[in-house]
Chains A and B, each alone.
Chain A
Amino acid sequence: DTAVSQTPKYLVTQMGNDKSIKCEQNLGHDTMYWYKQDSKKFLKIMFSYNNKELIINETVPNRFSPKSPDKAHLNLHINSLELGDSAVYFCASSLGTGTRGYTFGSGTRLTVV
């Protein structure tokens, strides 16, 4: 019955590899987000989608490509992984612009070695 589920929870990979993180929500929300939490616990938005349309694209390297096949799913694909990409990546969802708050997934800890 998980509201926002992300897979995998942990990902260890070598530099230069390509990897994907999947996210699904069953809350009926129409907006989904990707956040990055760095080693100092700072949370920064990367992307947001509303009804499959890209709304926010922060200054993120173009090695990161989000894809939203429908409003319940938002995946994140990362090409040519670098050491600096190591972080926890959170998916979140909300109704509309999120004035009632976001619901977060449990995060994916990505470690690039």
Chain B
Amino acid sequence: DQQVKQNSPSLSVQEGRISILNCDYTNSMFDYFLWYKKYPAEGPTFLISISSIKDKNEDGRFTVFLNKSAKHLSLHIVPSQPGDSAVYFCAARKRTSGSRLTFGEGTQLTVNP
């Protein structure tokens, strides 16, 4: 039962353009959503998060949008840079589960110069 799903295993964009990574979830008890970034041979690092009471959170080039009715969130990166090339994981948390996160499968983003 995959409660958090990233349907695109990979995404390729040109430098300077927008990258849009998508994530869908099924459990309406999730109250917080996070994006992590992972480079090869490194652990995931936290990128940005959003509470379920908001529909948008922005941090520099990164913006996360949440559509609760569709149980869908997306991460926008503008402008994309080659250093953004990494695997991006969507994760979700239920308040009753403390900090235990449920992760999606990940999307490999490649930004071409």
Q: Decide if A and B are genuine partners.
A: no
